Amino acid sequence: MAPPLESCWLYLITHFSEFQLATIGSFLIHESVFFLSGFPSIFLERSGLFSKYKIQKKSNTAEAHKKCVMRLIMYHVCVNLPVMLISYPAFRYMGLRSSLPLPNWTVIVSQILFYFILEDFVFYWGHRILHTKWLYKHVHSIHHEYATPFGLTSEYAHPAEILFLGFATIVGPALTGPHLFTLWLWMALRVLETVEVHSGYHFPWSPSNFFPLYGGSEFHDYHHRILFTKSGNYSSTFVYMDWLFGTDKGYRKLKVEEIEGKDH
Ligand SMILES: [Zn+2]
Ligand SMILES: [Zn+2]
């Protein structure tokens, strides 16, 4: 691991306790990555910039943007922060560490790849369960309040859903007991990914143009746009779970129609 990174880490672990870093530190990193990556799509929606890359013609009102931000701040402080404080001993028990040396990149990359695959699998089934009638009506419909998603709507959900699907995010790290640095990197990448899929924009430089197994914004935007019993596209990150279990048929049909429409 690069020496400058190690010296930054040394500064952190000599000035703060592991508990402070794993709880308050994780919370602050999550807030910074989430709001910094999520606000640009509100700005684009309001200003009309890059409108040719906007997936839906419809835009959200300033009121709708504000409601989302206010609710998110409340949930982050009242749900996410207490969960981080309470779950620290469990992470510690499963082997979380913060001491030097930092793990090498092969360990970091393979652990994070494993977390993405496991998260996608658990999320897929959890999300399908949330689309059953009772749970949709009482829990998941909150996340679907925004049929035209923008970055910050990615975490806009009922507290029960935050806990339920949040399990998919932490199950990988809980099983492998990673270094805190790896945990932070995973958290940041997972936030960037979910903000991107909810952004409402599909750019020529969007990651789904370069990684064929990655669903991206078009894939998840379809999930929000279509009636909840017909939408499919339940995965968080990849496309193969929906393909394997046949829950992407409507989306695939639409894509074929789009391509044929362009040819005529
Ligand atoms: Zn859903
Ligand atoms: Zn969503």
Query: Whose atoms come closest to the Cα of 131: which ligand?
Result: 1
Exposure string of 22-50, with b = 16+ CB inside 10 Å and e = fewer, is: bbebbbebbbebbbebbbbbbebbeeeee
**CA of 140 relative to ligand 1 center, distance in Å:** 7
Q: What's the pLDDT at 15? A: 98
Nearest to 232 by CA among 257, 208, 255: 255
Query: Does position 38 have pLDDT exceeding 90, yes or no?
Result: yes
Residues 106-162 have pLDDT tens digits of 999 999 999 999 999 999 999 999 999 999 999 999 999 999 999 999 999 999 999
CA distance linking residue 213 with residue 218, whole number of Å: 13
Residues 10-21 have pLDDT tens digits of 999 999 999 999
**CA of 224 relative to ligand 2 center, distance in Å:** 6
pTM over 0.75: yes
**CA of 130 relative to ligand 1 center, distance in Å:** 7
Average per-residue pLDDT for the chain: 95
CA distance linking residue 88 with residue 99, whole number of Å: 16
Query: Whose atoms come closest to the Cα of 136: which ligand?
Result: 1
Confidence of residue 258 (pLDDT cuts 50, 70, 90): confident
Query: What is the secondary structure of 54-112 as a DSSP string?
Result: BSSS----HHHHHHHHHHHHHHIIIIIHHHHHHHHHHHHHTT-B-PSSPPPHHHHHHHH
Confidence of residue 263 (pLDDT cuts 50, 70, 90): low
Range in 90-94, 231-235, 260-264 with the lowest mean pLDDT:
260-264
DSSP 236: S
Query: Whose atoms come closest to the Cα of 149: which ligand?
Result: 2
Query: Does position 179 have pLDDT exceeding 70, yes or no?
Result: yes
Query: Does position 2 have pLDDT exceeding 70, yes or no?
Result: no
Tokens of 111: 């652990």
Confidence of residue 252 (pLDDT cuts 50, 70, 90): very high
CA distance linking residue 211 with residue 245, whole number of Å: 21
Exposure string of 225-246, with b = 16+ CB inside 10 Å and e = fewer, is: ebebeebbbbbbbbbebbeeee
Residues 77-104 have pLDDT tens digits of 999 999 999 999 999 999 999 999 999 9
**CA of 95 relative to ligand 1 center, distance in Å:** 33
Percent of the chain with pLDDT over 70: 98
Q: What's the pLDDT at 240? A: 98
Q: Tokens 């979380």 appear where?
A: 96
Residue 238 sits at φ, ψ, to 5 deg, of: -100, 170
| 250: Cβ contacts below 8 Å, ≥ 6 apart | 222, 226, 230, 231, 232
Residue 90 sits at φ, ψ, to 5 deg, of: -65, -45
**CA of 220 relative to ligand 2 center, distance in Å:** 6
| 201: Cβ contacts below 8 Å, ≥ 6 apart | 41, 44, 50, 53, 54, 55, 217
Query: Does position 173 have pLDDT exceeding 70, yes or no?
Result: yes
Length of the chain counted residue by residue: 264
Nearest to 232 by CA among 216, 252, 213: 252
Query: Does position 264 have pLDDT exceeding 70, yes or no?
Result: no
Nearest to 15 by CA among 135, 94, 98: 98
